[in-house]
Structure 1
Amino acid sequence: MDIRQLRTFRSVAELGSLSKAADRLRIAQPGLSRQIKLLERELRVQLFIRNGRGMLLTSAGRTLLDRTEGLVRQIEQVRDDIQSAAGRPAGRVALGLVPTVSAVLSGRLAARILAEFPYISLRIVESYGGHLVEWLHRSELDLAITYGPATDLHLVTQAIGQEDIAVVGPPGSGLRSRKQVTFDWLLQQRLIVPSVAHGLRVLLEKSVARKRMALKALIEVDSYRAQISLMEEGLSYTLLPASAIRAELAAKRLEIAALVNPTITRELVLASPTTSLSSIAATTVSATIMSEIEQMSRKGHWKIRLAD
């Protein structure tokens, strides 16, 4: 195996298509196919199932991807750092964001990276905290913004800050005029909540346990976009940070009230793998993230209490 074959294999696995991988790598499709066949011949296993829908990994292919992902990323980072030595950060950076953070940050961050660091290729991956932490441990991501506390993650972390979780409901729910509701009131409602593996649900369940009461779940939805859609249909209430629904609140498609007695606060951290040094490009993106969040907080675009 050589690095060229492994990069080719990884691109085909990620994209599920020889033609798409050929476009990304700027390699003619027959040459790319030949590299895959040589790799399969050397390993004496079939790595892909080829069908009309594209290229699907076999169990052997999945094993190869899992075992070599971090290695290929480290080799690429060495190349990127050498190219960055001239003072222009360069290279590919994979950034994971939990969905509610992605909603408020991804567009502004991507625009800033494109304008200030044109030689950095930013890949944004949106998923839930548990997935992001797993991918960081496998070095499939360079950075991720996820939920704390940092001590639970076993990663290199930098504290971002804390923000309150609010009660969100449909138009006409009365939340806007009430301005705040108590936790006891919340527990009398049938709620739209994420599943038990979700970070926000974990925070909610901890508060419910301290009250020695039961949570009434009307429906479990792991997509916060789907939560918004259900509330716009007038079905129920949910809990979200205000930053994630600024557009819906401005358009009066949703209403919001502060949650009190007790409040629920989430901690956000910027995390990176412990298994490898951050590339110059990843360090640049990390600094830009912290700078952008500080600007958004100062201008009132994100109500977050920044860490000291």
Structure 2
Amino acid sequence: MIYINKNVFLLYGSEGLLIKEAVEKIKLKYLNKITVDLDFVKLDGEEVDFADIIDSCLVVPLLSEKRVIYVKDANFLSETKSSKKNEEEKLANFIEKEFPDYTCLILTAEKIDKRKKVYKAIEKVGYVKEFKISNYKEKIQWIKKRALLYNKNLDESAAAYIAYNTGDLYQTDNEIKKIVFALEEKKLIKKEDIEEIMSRNEEANIFELIDCIMENKKNIALLKLAELFKKGEKGILILYMISKHFMNLCWVKMLGDNEEEIREKLGLHPFVVKKLIEQARNFSIEKLKYALNLSQQLDYDIKKGRIDDKTGLELLISRL
């Protein structure tokens, strides 16, 4: 991407780590290391005025090939309503018709509205790229490639274990670094090598329990529940996560298989959305609502002192 001969870049998506690294590559391409502080400007996209973006782009670089203006979190690209519509149009016209060749403008955002005039202007004269991990298989491949950057080989089982037990790529990368440091002597890393090293977050442990419930593995689910309580997990948190999962499945069932719409509605990682869609296909909306009602009733009973959380969750899992 850094070799693309463009002056304006729009980098967006759910994976902040990939966006951050892309920004660094562009900076490396255009900025002189000696004058980087003078030829690089970072603006807060949530606070900056459109006029300030234009003014910053008009300043000539000192010793660098281009002056780099970085607008981080450019949320105006996703807002459906704007009180500064005229200013937005001026920025769009500036990008499309008046943008100086000596400047590089980078805008980043998590979400965008492709109907925006600024977006259309960038798409016409600049470079637009979405950064996301679409599915489990893609995340595993990213993990294996990432490990190679640290001179380590991960087999498929190790990469899959890391993928399952981490969230976004920031967390994933931190776990890979930890494993590489701990297993400095090993050339090929397998799942059994990393199980004791990885600090699996409490949500990952609860997700394993939820997966067992969804796959009708009642006995394994009860064992995992016992393990969670042994580790000191709060029953109310476990119940909240189970209820939230069934609520998300209900939404997915109602919204259909439109991944983008589900992501926007629920604010979930693409990998999680993919998994929810696959799980929702196995259940009717009536069964999902029944499971959600059971979970919500248990929450009420626990708070009223009618049942303790451990016994209640054991009964819930058995009924589900």
- Shorter chain as denominator, the TM-score bin is under 0.3
Structure showing greater radius of gyration is 2
Q: Which has the higher strand share?
A: 1
Query: What's the TM-score, normalizing by structure 2?
Result: 0.27
Query: What's the TM-score, normalizing by structure 1?
Result: 0.27
Q: Which has the higher helix share?
A: 2
